[in-house]
Amino acid sequence: MKNHLLSVCCLICLVSIPCLSQGLPPVFDQSFEAQKDSRIRQYLTPQRIVWQSHRADTIIRGAENLLRKGTGQANLVHQHFCKMVSSEGVTPGLVLDFGKEIQGGVQLVTDMPANQKPIRIRIRFGESVSEAMSDIDTLSGATNDHAMRDFSIEVPWLGVLNIGNTGFRFVRIDLIDTNRELQLKEVRGIFEYRDIPYLGSFKSNDDRLNQIWNTGAYTVHLNMQEYLWDGIKRDRLVWVGDMHPEVMTIHTVFGKNEVVMKSLDHVRDITVLPAWMNGISAYSMWWVLIHRDLYQNQGDLQYLRKQQKYLVALLDLLMSKTRDNMENLDGTRFLDWPSSENPKGIHAGLHAMLVMTLDAGAELCTILDEPAQSIKCREAAARLKLYVPDANQSKQAAALLAMAGLISPEKANTEVISVGQCERFSTFYGYYMLQTKAAAKDYQGALDCIRSYWGGMLDMGATTFWEDFDLAWTKNAAPIDELVPAGKDDIHGDFGAYCYKNLRHSLCHGWASGPTAWLSEHVLGVSIVEAGCKTIRIQPNLGDLQWVEGTYPTPMGIVKIRHEKQADGKIKSTIEAPKGVKVLR
């Protein structure tokens, strides 16, 4: 009887007491509003000391203690700390390497020198060693744009300070105050990210391709903050065109994630028609294309219906921007930065994009029970297809023309994209160049470019893929994880153009993740036939690979796949699909 009463009392308590984890503690009344953060925070220990200004123990002592696993708690033990001592003309400093690019800041735990006044230090975050060693000036290109990465601040005596909100791998700490002693017990990286599982996977007998797939996945993961950003150091904004390769990678690796819808809706809501998203006509078209691909992958009709009014109006606006069966788009006319000085190529690319967008719009309007608008889109696209512009040797434009069906993929690949192999590739539009190679059945050429171009960033020490890259930069360059020796080029500080000159260049840009989605689609062989992955086709293209295996997330669960090349060249496949997913081969 006693146990029964106890159980009843416990049940009453559970019902009557509010769950504190669902909101603010009860000391806050209803007038307080709070927003939950979708991310978690973890603390990382530095992996190595890259550089220190002085070797004398009287100036810097015990730096190796910063490589010990910390607790984030100051204490009175007065052991295992790094001591830095300044004097007139002597300002000690050191650079720490956290081993991987992360989004967040650092936690500084101080000890107890004799002087208890706060101590002024300088913090410099860097995606490369050279950026961490740089000054903000007109020479190096280092900036505090979007995120503060170079600043001075005071740290407390025997306390803890969390500081920073940027993308970085390296941090430099300098003692500024003269005739002071800084005692650092810990410097821990504060890593902020969405704690989500990697549902998709890719593994083959080629470790370089495996690393490229994983690096693309991680690059996008870092940019999945409260919104889907383009870069975690710079361009911490929702650029909807740049989102397309990121969203394709998210489908491939993480499956459905609210950051995609949240970001698409954000851009929609701040862009009142007839304005273009981000001021760029192509980006409004990418918004339509992303929604088409999102529906194909997730089959979420309820969410798609929320876009109906805006989508129909946007398609009307796009159809009004034609003249003589050609695109006549206004706003900023842009594909990507490397193609930005080729107006004929931009025209060809925008024309192709308009065809693709109206075709996609027709599909979506049919799904949304907008038959009249669907017919209008198809008729407008058919008129545009009567005109085929010249790509003007732009690999970006050639890829889009092929994807739009205006020229054959074989023509685009042979006459433009394959010329010079991976020369004039770009990290953003490289994805569409790879897609065109696949459509032309040039799978081996695509694999070679992935290994060479994206692999070239790995050779330079990258742990995430960059805003832009040119293989020519690597000829005499030191990697990003080293001090640049005399006679060597600085791969980060000496190159770049347009908005990413020198150290302003972002070394973690989600638009560069294309190979991750491409390898799963074309090598693992997964393509979607029926919306929501109700029917998928699996047709592997191994090229020179001997085997490949991996997983692909669907709304019904994970598809498991393995392909092995037999002695006669034929492929033996083993496929496990969840209930509700029909597999065509």
CA distances from 342 to 203, 402, 472 (A): 38, 18, 21
- Comparing C-alpha atoms, which of 449, 427, 428 is closest to residue 437? 449
What are the pLDDT tens digits along the chain (585 aa)? Answer: 444 433 434 433 434 334 444 678 889 888 888 888 999 999 999 999 999 999 999 999 999 999 999 999 999 999 999 999 999 999 999 999 999 999 999 999 999 999 999 999 999 999 999 999 999 987 899 999 999 999 999 999 999 999 999 999 999 999 999 999 999 999 999 999 999 999 999 999 999 999 999 999 999 999 999 999 999 999 999 999 999 999 999 999 999 999 999 999 999 999 999 999 999 999 999 999 999 999 999 999 999 999 999 999 999 999 999 999 999 999 999 999 999 999 999 999 999 999 999 999 999 999 999 999 999 999 999 999 999 999 999 999 999 999 999 999 999 999 999 999 999 999 999 999 999 999 999 999 999 999 999 999 999 999 999 999 999 999 999 999 999 999 999 999 999 999 999 999 999 999 999 999 999 999 999 999 999 999 999 999 999 999 999 999 999 999 999 999 999 999 999 999 999 999 999
Question: Which of the listed residues 193, 213, 247 is the one where a domain comes to its end?
Answer: 193
Count of the separate structural domains present in the chain: 2
Question: In the listed set 193, 225, 245, which residue is the last one of a domain according to the structure?
Answer: 193
C-alpha to C-alpha distance for 58 and 479, rounded to whole angstroms: 32
Domain assignment present for residue 60? The answer is yes
Sign of the alpha-carbon torsion through 389, 393, 394, 396: positive
Domain-located, residue 66: yes
Report if residue 530 sits inside a domain.
Answer: no
Q: Which residues contact 85 (CB under 8 A, 6 or more apart)?
A: 58, 59, 60, 92, 175, 180, 181, 182
Predicted local distance difference test score (pLDDT) of residue 222: 98
- Cα–Cα separations (whole angstroms), residue 221 to 195, 244, 307, 462, 512: 10, 14, 26, 15, 12
CA distances from 167 to 222, 365, 406, 463, 501 (A): 9, 40, 40, 12, 17
Domain harbouring 91, CATH code: 2.60.120.260
Alpha helices in 385-472 (DSSP H): 395-403, 409-412, 430-439, 443-449, 455-459
- CA-wise closest residue to 465 among 263, 222, 247: 222
Domain-terminating residue out of 193, 226, 251: 193
Domain-embedded: residue 35: no
In degrees rounded to 5, what are phi and psi of residue 192? Answer: -110, 125
Residue 568 DSSP label: T
* Residue 57 CB burial class (10 angstroms; 0-12, 13-18, ≥19): exposed
Does 167 map to a domain? Answer: yes
Structure tokens at 425: 């590739």
In a domain, 356, yes or no: no
pLDDT at 238: 97
Q: How far apart are CA 455 and CA 474, in angstroms?
A: 12
Instruction: Give the structural domain span for 45.
Output: 40-193
**Cα 230 to the chain's mean position, in Å?**
6
Residue type for position 219: T
523 closest CA partner among 544, 542, 536, 545:
542
Residues in the chain, total? 585
Q: What are phi and psi of 254, to 5 degrees?
A: -110, -15
Contacts for 462 with CB less than 8 Å, ≥ 6 apart: 215, 480, 507
Alpha carbon distance 66, 81 (integer Å): 7
* Residue 174: inside a domain: yes
- Give a yes or no: residue 560 inside a domain: yes
Angle, alpha carbons 89-95-100 (nearest 5°): 165
| Strand, coil or helix: 555 | coil
Cis peptide before 274 (omega within 30 of 0): yes
Cβ(487)–Cβ(477) below 8 Å: no
Provide the pLDDT for residue 22.
63
Nearest Cα residue to 519 out of 580, 449, 466, 568: 449
